[in-house]
Chain A
Amino acid sequence: MRRRTLLTGIGSTALLATPHIAKAQWPGVTKDEIKIGHTIPYSGPASAYGVIGQFHTAWFKMVNETMGGIAGRKVNFITLDDGYLPPKTVEQVRRLVEQEGVSFMFSPLGTANNTAIQKYLNQKKVPQLFVATGADKWGNPKEFPWTMGWQPSYRTEAQIYAKYMRKEKPNAKLAVLYQNDDFGKDYLIGLKDALGADYAKFMVKEVSYEVTDATIDSQAVTLQSSGADVLVTAATPKFAAQMIRKVADMNWKPLHFLTNVSASVGSVIKPAGAEKAVGIITSAYIKDSTDPRWKDDPGIKTWRTFMDKWLPGADQTDGGYLAGYGVDQTLMQVFKQCGNDLSRENIMQQAANIQPHDCAVLLPGIGVNTTPTNFHPIRQMQLTKWSGSSWELFGDIIEGTGA
Chain B
Amino acid sequence: MNPTLSRVFPWLFFAAAAVLPLLFASDYRLFQLTMVVVYAVAVLGLNLLTGYNGQVSLGNGAFYAIGAYTTAILMDKFGVPYWATLPFSALVCAGVGFLIGLPALRLGGMYLALTTFALAVATPQLLKYKLFEGWTGGVQGIVIDKPDAPFGLPLNPDQWLYLFCLLVGGVLFLAASNMVRGRIGRAMRAIRDQPTAAEAMGIDIAMFKTRTFATSALFTGISGSLGAITIQFVAPDAFGVPLSLTFFVGMVVGGGASIAGAIMGALFIQFVPNIAEEVSKAAPGAVYGLILIGFMFLLPGGLASLLRLLNGKRA
A interface residues with partner B (beta carbon < 8 Å): 1-3, 6-7, 10-11, 13-19, 42-44, 47, 53-54, 57, 79-81, 83-87, 90-91, 94-95, 98-99, 111-112, 115-116, 118-120, 180-183, 210-212
Q: Least Cβ distance of A146 to chain B in Å?
A: 15
Q: Least Cβ distance of A91 to chain B in Å?
A: 7
Contact, CB under 8 Å: B143 / A115: yes
**Nearest 9 pairs between A and B by C-beta?**
A14-B24, A98-B28, A116-B233, A17-B29, A112-B235, A17-B26, A43-B285, A87-B231, A17-B25
In the assembled complex, which residues on chain B have CB atoms less than 8 Å from the CB atom of A47?
285
Contact, CB under 8 Å: B12 / A3: yes
Whether, in the assembled complex, B141 has its beta carbon less than 8 Å from a beta carbon of chain A, the answer is yes
Q: Least Cβ distance of A155 to chain B in Å?
A: 15
Contact, CB under 8 Å: B238 / A112: yes
Q: Least Cβ distance of A143 to chain B in Å?
A: 12
Q: How many residues of B contact A (CB 8 A)?
A: 48
- Nearest residue, chain B, Cβ from A97: B28
- Nearest residue, chain A, Cβ from B311: A2
Of the candidates B9, B28, B273, the one whose C-beta lies within 8 Å of that of A99 is: B28
Whether, in the assembled complex, B111 has its beta carbon less than 8 Å from a beta carbon of chain A, the answer is no
Cα distance A18–B30 in the bound complex, in angstroms: 12
Of the candidates A42, A84, A86, the one whose C-beta lies within 8 Å of that of B141 is: A86
In the assembled complex, which residues on chain B have CB atoms less than 8 Å from the CB atom of A81?
273, 277, 281, 284
Whether, in the assembled complex, B76 has its beta carbon less than 8 Å from a beta carbon of chain A, the answer is no
Cα distance A180–B26 in the bound complex, in angstroms: 42
In the assembled complex, which residues on chain A have CB atoms less than 8 Å from the CB atom of B27?
94, 98
In the assembled complex, which residues on chain A have CB atoms less than 8 Å from the CB atom of B237?
84-86, 112
Cα distance A183–B243 in the bound complex, in angstroms: 25
Whether, in the assembled complex, B99 has its beta carbon less than 8 Å from a beta carbon of chain A, the answer is no
Cα distance A198–B129 in the bound complex, in angstroms: 32
Cα distance A17–B24 in the bound complex, in angstroms: 7
Of the candidates B13, B26, B238, the one whose C-beta lies within 8 Å of that of A98 is: B26
- Nearest residue, chain B, Cβ from A117: B233
Contact, CB under 8 Å: A79 / B281: yes
Given contacts A79-B281, A115-B143, contact A211 B125 (CB under 8 A): yes
Cα distance A16–B282 in the bound complex, in angstroms: 25
Contact, CB under 8 Å: A10 / B17: yes
In the assembled complex, which residues on chain B have CB atoms less than 8 Å from the CB atom of A57?
281
In the assembled complex, which residues on chain A have CB atoms less than 8 Å from the CB atom of B35?
87, 91
In the assembled complex, which residues on chain A have CB atoms less than 8 Å from the CB atom of B138?
181-182
Contact, CB under 8 Å: B26 / A85: no
Given contacts A1-B310, A181-B128, contact A94 B25 (CB under 8 A): no
Contact, CB under 8 Å: A19 / B26: yes
- Nearest residue, chain A, Cβ from B33: A13
Cα distance A42–B282 in the bound complex, in angstroms: 7
In the assembled complex, which residues on chain B have CB atoms less than 8 Å from the CB atom of A44?
242, 285
In the assembled complex, which residues on chain A have CB atoms less than 8 Å from the CB atom of B285?
43-44, 47
Contact, CB under 8 Å: B20 / A2: no
Contact, CB under 8 Å: A119 / B232: yes
Q: Least Cβ distance of A114 to chain B in Å?
A: 11
Of the candidates A2, A19, A119, the one whose C-beta lies within 8 Å of that of B9 is: A2
Whether, in the assembled complex, B84 has its beta carbon less than 8 Å from a beta carbon of chain A, the answer is no
Contact, CB under 8 Å: B227 / A87: yes
Within 200-235 of B, Cβ neighbours of A (below 8 Å) are at: 227, 231-233, 235
Within 68-86 of B, Cβ neighbours of A (below 8 Å) are at: none
Of the candidates A85, A94, A210, the one whose C-beta lies within 8 Å of that of B31 is: A94
Contact, CB under 8 Å: B24 / A85: no
Of the candidates B25, B32, B233, B284, the one whose C-beta lies within 8 Å of that of A43 is: B284
Contact, CB under 8 Å: A42 / B281: yes
Contact, CB under 8 Å: A13 / B25: yes
Given contacts A81-B281, A91-B35, contact A14 B128 (CB under 8 A): no
Task: Give 1 or 0 for each of B288-315: 1 = CB within 8 Å of chain A CB.
Answer: 1000000000000000000100110010
Of the candidates B139, B143, B242, B284, the one whose C-beta lies within 8 Å of that of A181 is: B139
Contact, CB under 8 Å: A120 / B13: no
Within 1-50 of B, Cβ neighbours of A (below 8 Å) are at: 1, 9, 12-13, 16-17, 20-21, 23-29, 31-33, 35
Contact, CB under 8 Å: B284 / A1: no
Contact, CB under 8 Å: B281 / A119: no
Cα distance A208–B301 in the bound complex, in angstroms: 51
Cα distance A115–B142 in the bound complex, in angstroms: 9
In the assembled complex, which residues on chain B have CB atoms less than 8 Å from the CB atom of A18?
26
In the assembled complex, which residues on chain B have CB atoms less than 8 Å from the CB atom of A98?
26-28
Of the candidates B26, B32, B282, B314, the one whose C-beta lies within 8 Å of that of A1 is: B314
Contact, CB under 8 Å: B130 / A180: yes
Whether, in the assembled complex, B140 has its beta carbon less than 8 Å from a beta carbon of chain A, the answer is yes
Q: Least Cβ distance of B188 to chain A in Å?
A: 26
- Nearest residue, chain A, Cβ from B246: A85
Contact, CB under 8 Å: B16 / A10: yes
In the assembled complex, which residues on chain B have CB atoms less than 8 Å from the CB atom of A54?
281-282
Contact, CB under 8 Å: B235 / A116: yes
Q: Least Cβ distance of B25 to chain A in Å?
A: 5
Cα distance A81–B281 in the bound complex, in angstroms: 8
Max chain B Cβ within 10 angstroms of own Cβ: one of A43, A119, A180: A43
- Nearest residue, chain A, Cβ from B32: A91
Cα distance A11–B282 in the bound complex, in angstroms: 32
